[in-house]
Chain A
Amino acid sequence: MSEHTYQADTVERAEASPETEQPYEALGVKDDEYARIREILGRRPTSSELAMYSVMWSEHCSYKSSKVHLRQFGERAPEVDFLLVGPGENAGVVDVGEDLAVTFKIESHNHPSYVEPYQGAATGVGGIVRDILTMGARPIAVLDPLRFGPADAADTHRVLPGVVRGIGGYGNSLGLPNIGGEVVFDACYSGNPLVNALSVGVLKKSEIKLAKADGPGNHVVLFGARTGGDGIGGASVLASATFDADKPSKRPSVQVGDPFMEKVLIECCLEIYAEDLVTGIQDLGAAGLSCATTELAAAGTGGMDVKLDLAPLRDATLVPEEILMSESQERMMAVVTPENLPRFFEICEKWDVISTVIGTVTDTGRLRMTWHGETIVDVDPRTLAHQGPVYERPYHRPDWQDALQADAPDAARLARPAGGEQLRATVLRMVASPNLADKTWVLEQYDHRVRGNTVLAHGEDSGMIRLSEESGLGIALSTDGNGRYTKLDPYTGAQLALAEAYRNVAATGATPLAVTDCLNFGSPEDPEVMWQFAEACRGLTDACQILGTPVTGGNVSFYNQTGSEAIHPTPVVGVLGVIDDVARRTRSAFETEGEVLLLVGETLDEFGGSEWAHVVHEHLGGLPPKLDLERERQLGEILVAGSRDGMLSAAHDLSDGGLIQALAESCMRGGKGARVVLPGELDPFVELFSESAGRAVVAVPRSEEKRFTDMCVFRNVPVARIGVVDGDTLEVQGQFEIPLAELREAWTGTFPKLFG
């Protein structure tokens, strides 16, 4: 009914009524931002324009608080020759050889997953997969790094099962293997879980698609799902300010995903790409049509005319402001030449995908939208897409940082287990602790096999996907992050996240190439949070330079806090690696009795932010492990060379829980025990549980031991023989012995007990 009675706020009306009060504050637009919009337009914005500026200039879309820090990722990136598309596009693209390119990106869907865990997590997967699809690639895998409040908290039992079912429900229905991620618990994530999603896709190097509307006269096509009132809580302010007819009183803030629609949209797009039918393409994510039209127009010839009333609607009562802000899922926008349009429609029809021409590319430099013939938007699209506000937010090192770092978990401060009995009990307690325990209960809900190219998945150091059956070319991916380390020292903490993901990729035999990051932080308006953010960005940039892995894109998620209590700063880093032949991948499992176990890297007394201090003493203080990035790089090269030259039977990175956790996991995965003789002069507790960086444990055949250790010595990386693969117990000589069955019972029992 509103279609007839709705009186749009037109450009003409805006010009005639400059004094009209507009509810910009309720849309999150600041006084000075509103003044700037008026200055840009030379008049007050129409309510549709205001809607567009409010979403495009939001933190989420404009990166206004983070931009000044993110710039260094590009400006101080390492020189590489494989980067085809860098930060700023929908996702970065990397040349992996054989005329193939890989695009990958990580994103957050934290807040929606707290409100409605299933749909929040599901649409998080859907959104990142569309980003990959938009680059012209076939999505081929997803990874989901997750963080929740304490494992035994009531709210975690509401959030976690829903999030896991949502990721499985959506990802499995898309036919995308889920090959990695993390499940981490910490009280700081109570009321603010982190649900990050990474997707990766593959395409021919020559077929990269970009989000730009080129060629005046070309059609602008909206295709996929109809537009509903999803995620436009804010727009109701506008609707009621300009119009007060009866309409659904509440617009849903929850977006519901339709994975079936997305699956057909993927196949439909890939068929359209294969015939080269689009000149530009953009997915509709945050800020929906506002974002897609402005970004396409701003990056292309410069102008676009859109008849907004042509957009297919799920709810006929939607008004233009709402249509522009709607975040309905599973929608795409393409720019298509008139010659290609009939074939484009044919393919959409084949897949039962609704497609509608809603506009035309122009060379006017203006984005103009009409609603039943009346002009409601007339803006320079670049002012929306590129000329948003940029803030130099004030930041300073928190006053409490010194005290936190001074509170080191040394032996005098935290009681350490001594003697075989206590160490044995600690091992069993640690492997059963939620962060270190077996995650099968979660992982069995994900399909990691579909598409038949998954060479490694959960339980290995990184996920690995075969790209070519002929050559064996493949990629590896790992995501890592440690909020506790980053809280203790944001600069080093972010670097440690990168180093761990880098090490994990190398441990499987792949050469680390490039980085995507999801920067989860509290409020940027808090100078202490802003300092954490600035330090983390600086740390990541510095580390990327040394490791030679550029950041290709990612996502910033601010305002992760409950009241004034921010989460631990949690940069989650994804590293992509390439492997020339997946047949030589290295598993983490000890499979062959009699093989020699070597510890590569140096162990120090480092327990700041460690899993042990967290589990046993609920303590967080001191400094995170030291990081020697040059050595980290050497270790990576050793692990890759060991794989290439056939020296390695198994490799497993040492991180959370230290050496004993890595040994336990590799033993259980391979079903073989180990006899371990601790090498050094350090306290056995330190040898077993320290979380020193830059380390890995490997299994090598006896015949390869000398060659491998020579290689380590040559590269100046410490290496020590620590035992052999043997029997069905994990034995640390002179200390304790644990039958694998007992270890496995402790390790696997936790999740079913908590969530089963």
Chain B
Amino acid sequence: MARVVVDVMLKPEILDPQGQAVNRALPRLGFDGVVDVRQGKRFEVELEGPADEAALARVREMAERLLANTVIEEYRVRVEA
């Protein structure tokens, strides 16, 4: 068993209303010094077998086709130790 994490974030150039709303709220709660907040999604994919190159390629395909909308989002695939 291996766990692969896929982080999906809006591409940096795409407006992130969620992150902005949180960013605007933070100073009101007394958290100063924050320049920007971006909100994303994290998927934890549990695999039957090891997280070898072939498995990671499959997870990347998952991310490409389903987990992320690559028109506006980018994703990162990593193995959780």
Residues of A249-277 whose CB lies within 8 A of B: 250-252, 254-261
CB contacts (< 8 Å) of A315 on chain B: these are 13
Q: Pick the residue among A254, A261, A328 that contacts B71 (CB under 8 A).
A: A254
Q: Is the CB of A230 within 8 A of B15?
A: yes
Interface bits B1-36 vs A (CB < 8 Å: 1, else 0): 000000000111111110011001000000000000
Q: Is the CB of A260 within 8 A of B17?
A: yes
Asked if B69 is an interface residue, CB under 8 A from chain A, the answer is: yes
Q: Is the CB of A256 within 8 A of B72?
A: yes
Asked if A756 is an interface residue, CB under 8 A from chain B, the answer is: no
Instruction: Return the chain B residue nearest A253 by Cβ.
Output: B71
CB contacts (< 8 Å) of A258 on chain B: these are 15, 17, 20
CB contacts (< 8 Å) of A388 on chain B: these are none
Q: CA A100 – CA B26 in complex, angstroms? A: 42
Taking A258-B17, A260-B17, A260-B21 as contacts, is the C-beta distance between A248 and B72 under 8 angstroms? Answer: no
Q: Is the CB of A256 within 8 A of B21?
A: no
Taking A258-B20, A352-B24 as contacts, is the C-beta distance between A328 and B69 under 8 angstroms? Answer: no
Taking A229-B13, A328-B15 as contacts, is the C-beta distance between A254 and B24 under 8 angstroms? Answer: no
Q: Is the CB of A256 within 8 A of B24?
A: no
Q: CA A250 – CA B24 in complex, angstroms? A: 27
Q: Is the CB of A254 within 8 A of B72?
A: yes
CB contacts (< 8 Å) of B72 on chain A: these are 116, 119, 252, 254, 256
CB contacts (< 8 Å) of A225 on chain B: these are 15
Q: Is the CB of A256 within 8 A of B20?
A: no
Instruction: Return the chain B residue nearest A329 by Cβ.
Output: B15
Instruction: Return the chain A residue nearest B69 by Cβ.
Output: A116
Q: Is the CB of A252 within 8 A of B17?
A: no
Q: Is the CB of A248 within 8 A of B13?
A: yes
- Find the residue from B10, B15, B69, B71 having the highest chain A CB count within 10 A: B15
What secondary structure prevails in chain A residues at the interface with B?
loop
Q: Pick the residue among B11, B20, B24, B69 that contacts A252 (CB under 8 A).
A: B11
Asked if A450 is an interface residue, CB under 8 A from chain B, the answer is: no
Closest chain-B Cβ to A653's Cβ sits at a distance in Å of 39
Asked if A314 is an interface residue, CB under 8 A from chain B, the answer is: yes
Q: Is the CB of A261 within 8 A of B17?
A: yes
Asked if A425 is an interface residue, CB under 8 A from chain B, the answer is: no
CB contacts (< 8 Å) of A255 on chain B: these are 15
What secondary structure prevails in chain B residues at the interface with A?
loop
CB contacts (< 8 Å) of B10 on chain A: these are 256
Q: Pick the residue among B15, B21, B24, B71 that contacts A228 (CB under 8 A).
A: B15
Q: CA A119 – CA B10 in complex, angstroms? A: 13
CB contacts (< 8 Å) of A256 on chain B: these are 10, 14-17, 72
Number of interface residues of A (CB under 8 A): 24
Q: CA A328 – CA B17 in complex, angstroms? A: 12
Q: CA A314 – CA B23 in complex, angstroms? A: 13
Q: How large is the interface on B (under 10, 10 to 19, 20 to 34, 35 or more residues)?
A: 10 to 19
Asked if A115 is an interface residue, CB under 8 A from chain B, the answer is: yes
Q: Is the CB of A252 within 8 A of B21?
A: no
CB contacts (< 8 Å) of A251 on chain B: these are 13
- Find the residue from B10, B24, B69 having the highest chain A CB count within 10 A: B69
- Find the residue from B10, B16, B69, B71 having the highest chain A CB count within 10 A: B71
Residues of A191-238 whose CB lies within 8 A of B: 225, 228-230
Residues of B43-76 whose CB lies within 8 A of A: 69, 71-72
Closest chain-B Cβ to A328's Cβ sits at a distance in Å of 7
CB contacts (< 8 Å) of B71 on chain A: these are 115-116, 254
Q: CA A261 – CA B20 in complex, angstroms? A: 10
CB contacts (< 8 Å) of B17 on chain A: these are 256-261
Instruction: Return the chain B residue nearest A352 by Cβ.
Output: B24
CB contacts (< 8 Å) of A116 on chain B: these are 69, 71-72
Q: Pick the residue among A230, A248, A328 that contacts B12 (CB under 8 A).
A: A248
Instruction: Return the chain B residue nearest A162 by Cβ.
Output: B69
Instruction: Return the chain B residue nearest A257 by Cβ.
Output: B17
Q: CA A256 – CA B15 in complex, angstroms? A: 6
Q: CA A315 – CA B15 in complex, angstroms? A: 10
Q: Is the CB of A254 within 8 A of B21?
A: no
CB contacts (< 8 Å) of B11 on chain A: these are 252
Interface bits A107-137 vs B (CB < 8 Å: 1, else 0): 0000000011001000000000000000000
Closest chain-B Cβ to A323's Cβ sits at a distance in Å of 14
Closest chain-B Cβ to A679's Cβ sits at a distance in Å of 55
Q: CA A329 – CA B72 in complex, angstroms? A: 16
Q: CA A252 – CA B21 in complex, angstroms? A: 21
Instruction: Return the chain A residue nearest B11 by Cβ.
Output: A252
CB contacts (< 8 Å) of B24 on chain A: these are 352
Taking A115-B71, A260-B21 as contacts, is the C-beta distance between A250 and B13 under 8 angstroms? Answer: yes
Instruction: Return the chain B residue nearest A248 by Cβ.
Output: B13
CB contacts (< 8 Å) of A261 on chain B: these are 17
CB contacts (< 8 Å) of A228 on chain B: these are 13, 15
Q: Is the CB of A314 within 8 A of B15?
A: yes
Q: CA A252 – CA B13 in complex, angstroms? A: 6
Q: CA A270 – CA B15 in complex, angstroms? A: 25
CB contacts (< 8 Å) of A119 on chain B: these are 72
Closest chain-B Cβ to A4's Cβ sits at a distance in Å of 19
Q: CA A329 – CA B71 in complex, angstroms? A: 18
Q: CA A314 – CA B13 in complex, angstroms? A: 9
Closest chain-A Cβ to B20's Cβ sits at a distance in Å of 7
Instruction: Return the chain A residue nearest B16 by Cβ.
Output: A256
Interface bits A143-168 vs B (CB < 8 Å: 1, else 0): 00000000000000000000000000
Residues of chain B at the chain A interface (Cβ within 8 Å): 10-17, 20-21, 24, 69, 71-72
Enumerate 12 A-B pairs (CB-CB under 8 Å) in ascending A order: A115-B71, A225-B15, A228-B13, A248-B12, A256-B10, A256-B15, A256-B72, A257-B17, A258-B15, A258-B17, A260-B21, A352-B24
Which 10 A-B pairs give the minimum distances between C-beta atoms?
A258-B17, A256-B15, A252-B13, A116-B71, A248-B13, A252-B14, A229-B13, A254-B72, A256-B14, A228-B15
